[in-house]
């Protein structure tokens, strides 16, 4: 494998040398002389003796190098039919001024700022402005209900909130300001400042609330702020992810390791160079949006596309292909669920033929398992490599990938390929014993994790240790199950709690899903384990049919049962198949399997705050009598 195996071995055997070399891709105020601080293991810190500014690395240095006229950000709103473009010099000017607004309102280094914004350029500007003055941003997905926002306000204790009048969804608007006002009312911690970006399409403004500031008015006459040097180990942001206790976990990302890891990843994982056009079809409220809408592409001097719209319905299943054609996108990063939605609406890819997508070199998928059927379909219609890769909110960048910029490797359907240099991935059984190639178990990562991964949980080291470090000594617990094959390829089959026990046999619902999804009439599916008096659990399948598919549900059931029997065996006892119009998902595209399982078992459940469309869940509950 040459270059990959050499890089992987160096990251494993000469950690200091590998990451200090990678750090040369970042501009430092005080360069690091050490890579890893392991004095408080298993709590680790990267580049402990260095200082930098992340906003400077994303903007100023490109302008100073003479690339100020290069396009930094393209905002494409399918919702209002508008496109806005910022050069690096223009984005720097906006970020510097908004950083000045924050400073003028008492925000300083180490202070927290909650950003509750839709997919508009000001969201990225606010993030970069916080980084510029050393403030810690915490982006909350726009549209989260007031109690969820209040919980995050109380945990982060921000001195300011940056928001907008609302977000746009197909057929409806979502007003943010009433939710912000209610959240501030509910929260024990009261931010001193609220700044509002008015959107003319949505009612409500800062003037409706005492003491709130209008973004444009505040920007009109303000001194721009210079970048503030911070320690590499200082926090850049807090991003909340759902916790099993109901209290969200505040994942903390540092400045130095984050800048080094993302800079390295853009070149080596994604093959993106300065001037390339990169599009991550996600939201700034998720980790993907942090890493690869805002920071990653700007750190390397690429052009980042920021899209306000959906894969289908804005206006049709050709939306993604239009964006690629209009902006000459070189690489698209999206979730498998988006591709499945496009395929469901347009299985023959007739919309694709209307656009020139020849600029596209690669399609990257992450966020949920890329099933082999979706992999084959997207590869076939696009004619470019479709590259699955695997990572988490906690890691902030890929754990396993096919490194297109380092050494492209053969693709295997169902696998995100191999561990990225810096990650030592293993599979262990319930006792923590390493398993042989091909044996399924708990996927773990040997400590220390590489730079750019979580530095901890906000003000909760005990929970950090308990959630991730205590299950298996010396390892980070990913919470995913799977195996590594004889070629070193990683196969992620699903969350560990999606492994079900059928009459003493441990079965992965992800494996069964892959078989079900291979049926030509199935657009997407979910398989969950439900209670069975005899066997303990049994798998139950929920399928969404492709647009235009015409098949009798009983015939479909028989064919799917036969497929699972042939591919996995009778031990799966797969016999339950329910055709549904849609699967309940979070706004980031993850299927709500736990909630589905609770409904199917007639247990009490709560509608998750992250749900995309509550009506889908209601319809499923009606079908199942929940």
List the 303-308 sheet strands across, edge first: 82-87, 71-77, 303-308, 277-280, 331-334, 362-365, 386-388
Give domain status of residue 442, yes or no.
no
How many domains is the chain built from? 2
Average model confidence (pLDDT) for the chain? 92
Directed axis angle between helix 15-22 and helix 3-13, to 10°? 110
Mark whether 560 and 418 lie in a shared domain.
Answer: no
Give domain status of residue 468, yes or no.
no
CATH of the domain at 90: 3.40.50.12780
Give domain status of residue 275, yes or no.
yes
Directed axis angle between helix 509-517 and helix 553-567, to 10°? 120
Calculate what percentage of the chain has a pLDDT beyond 90. Answer: 75
**Per-position DSSP letters for 108-137, written without gaps between them:** -TT-EEEEE--SSHHHHHHHHHHHHHT-EE
Give domain status of residue 509, yes or no.
yes
Mark whether 407 and 554 lie in a shared domain.
Answer: no
Q: Per residue in 374-408, pLDDT tens?
A: 899 999 999 999 999 999 999 999 999 999 999 99
- pLDDT of res. 534: 66
Give domain status of residue 446, yes or no.
no
Asked if 188 and 154 touch (Cβ cutoff 8 Å), the reply is yes
Q: Per residue in 192-225, pLDDT tens?
A: 999 999 999 998 999 999 999 999 999 999 999 9
- pLDDT of res. 295: 98
Last residue of a domain, one of 376, 405, 425: 425
pLDDT band at 294 (very low <50, low <70, confident <90, very high): very high
Mark whether 416 and 539 lie in a shared domain.
Answer: no
Mark whether 19 and 153 lie in a shared domain.
Answer: yes
Give domain status of residue 394, yes or no.
yes
Give domain status of residue 299, yes or no.
yes
Mark whether 394 and 513 lie in a shared domain.
Answer: no
What mean pLDDT do residues 448-475 have? 96
Q: Per residue in 299-327, pLDDT tens?
A: 999 999 999 999 999 999 999 999 999 99
Mark whether 421 and 509 lie in a shared domain.
Answer: no
Query: What's the rounded Cα separation, in Å, for the pair 493 and 347?
Result: 25
By CB atoms closer than 10 A (0-12, 13-18, 19+), residue 604 is exposed
Query: What's the rounded Cα separation, in Å, for the pair 292 and 422?
Result: 19
Can you give the residue range of the structural domain that contains 551?
Answer: 505-624
Is the pLDDT confidence value at 503 over 60?
A: no
CATH of the domain at 589: 3.30.300.30
- pLDDT of res. 86: 98
- pLDDT of res. 244: 46
Mark whether 525 and 416 lie in a shared domain.
Answer: no
What mean pLDDT do residues 421-441 have? 94
Last residue of a domain, one of 408, 425, 442: 425
CB atoms under 10 Å from CB of 211, counted, come to 8
Least confident piece of the model among 152-161, 267-276, 448-457, 616-625:
616-625
Mark whether 109 and 231 lie in a shared domain.
Answer: yes
- Using alpha carbons only, give the angle 113, 116, 118 rounded to the nearest 5 degrees: 140
Least confident piece of the model among 2-6, 36-40, 335-339, 499-503:
499-503
Give domain status of residue 86, yes or no.
yes
What is the number of alpha carbons within 13 Å of residue 275 lying toward its C-beta? 3
- pLDDT of res. 497: 62
Last residue of a domain, one of 425, 447, 478: 425
- pLDDT of res. 1: 44
């Amino acid at each position: 494998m040459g270059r990959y195996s050499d890089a992987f071995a160096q990251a494993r055997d000469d950690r200091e040398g590998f990451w200090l070399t990678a750090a040369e891709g970042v501009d430092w105020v005080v360069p690091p002389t050490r890579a890893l601080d392991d004095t408080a293991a298993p709590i680790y810190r990267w580049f402990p003796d260095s200082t930098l500014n992340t906003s400077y690395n994303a903007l100023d240095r490109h302008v100073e190098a003479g690339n100020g006229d290069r396009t930094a950000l393209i905002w494409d709103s399918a919702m209002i039919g508008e496109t806005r473009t910022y050069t690096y010099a223009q984005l720097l000017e906006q970020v510097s001024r908004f950083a000045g607004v924050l400073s003028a309102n008492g925000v300083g280094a180490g202070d927290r700022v909650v950003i509750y914004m839709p997919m508009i350029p000001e969201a990225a500007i606010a993030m970069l402005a916080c980084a510029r003055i050393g403030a810690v941003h915490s982006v909350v997905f726009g549209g989260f209900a007031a109690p969820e926002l209040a919980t995050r306000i109380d945990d982060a204790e921000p001195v300011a909130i940056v928001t907008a009048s609302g977000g746009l969804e197909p057929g409806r608007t979502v007003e943010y300001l009433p939710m912000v006002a209610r959240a501030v009312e509910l929260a024990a911690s009261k931010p001193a400042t609220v700044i509002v970006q008015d959107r003319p399409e949505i009612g409500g403004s800062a003037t409706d609330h005492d003491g709130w500031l209008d973004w444009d008015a505040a920007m009109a006459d303000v001194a721009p702020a210079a970048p503030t040097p911070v320690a590499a180990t200082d926090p850049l942001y807090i991003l909340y992810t759902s916790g099993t206790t109901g209290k969200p976990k505040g994942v903390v990302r540092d400045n130095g390791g984050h800048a080094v890891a993302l800079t390295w990843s853009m070149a080596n994982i994604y093959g993106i160079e300065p001037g390339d056009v990169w599009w991550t079809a996600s939201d700034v409220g998720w980790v993907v949006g942090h890493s690869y809408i805002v920071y990653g592409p700007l750190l390397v001097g690429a052009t980042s596309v920021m899209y306000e719209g959906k894969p289908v319905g804005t206006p049709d299943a050709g939306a993604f292909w239009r964006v690629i054609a209009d902006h000459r996108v070189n690489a698209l990063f999206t979730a498998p669920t988006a591709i499945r939605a496009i395929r469901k609406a347009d299985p023959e890819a007739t919309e694709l033929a209307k656009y020139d997508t020849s600029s596209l070199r690669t399609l990257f998928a992450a966020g949920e398992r890329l099933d082999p059927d979706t992999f084959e379909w997207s590869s076939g219609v696009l004619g470019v490599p479709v590259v699955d890769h695997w990572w988490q909110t906690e890691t902030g960048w890929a754990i396993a990938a096919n490194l297109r910029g380092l050494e492209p490797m053969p693709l295997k359907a169902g696998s995100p390929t191999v561990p990225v240099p810096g990650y030592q991935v293993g599979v262990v059984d319930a006792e923590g014993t390493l398993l042989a190639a091909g044996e399924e178990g708990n996927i773990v990562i040997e400590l220390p994790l590489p730079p750019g991964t979580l530095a901890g949980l906000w003000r909760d080291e005990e929970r950090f240790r308990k959630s991730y470090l205590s299950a298996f000594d010396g390892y980070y617990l990913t919470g995913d199950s799977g195996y590594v094959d004889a070629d070193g390829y990683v196969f992620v089959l699903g969350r560990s709690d999606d492994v079900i026990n059928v009459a003493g046999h441990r079965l992965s619902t992800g494996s069964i899903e892959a078989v079900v999804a291979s049926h030509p009439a199935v657009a997407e599916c979910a398989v969950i384990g439900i209670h069975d008096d005899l066997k303990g659990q049994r798998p139950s399948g929920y399928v969404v049919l492709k647009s235009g598919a015409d098949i009798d549900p009983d015939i479909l059931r028989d064919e799917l049962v036969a497929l699972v029997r042939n591919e996995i065996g009778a031990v799966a006892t797969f016999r339950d198949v329910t055709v549904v119009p849609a699967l309940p998902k979070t706004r980031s595209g993850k299927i709500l399997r736990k909630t589905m399982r609770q409904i199917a078992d007639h247990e009490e459940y709560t509608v998750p705050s992250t749900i995309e469309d509550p009506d889908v869940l209601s319809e499923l509950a009606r079908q199942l009598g929940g």
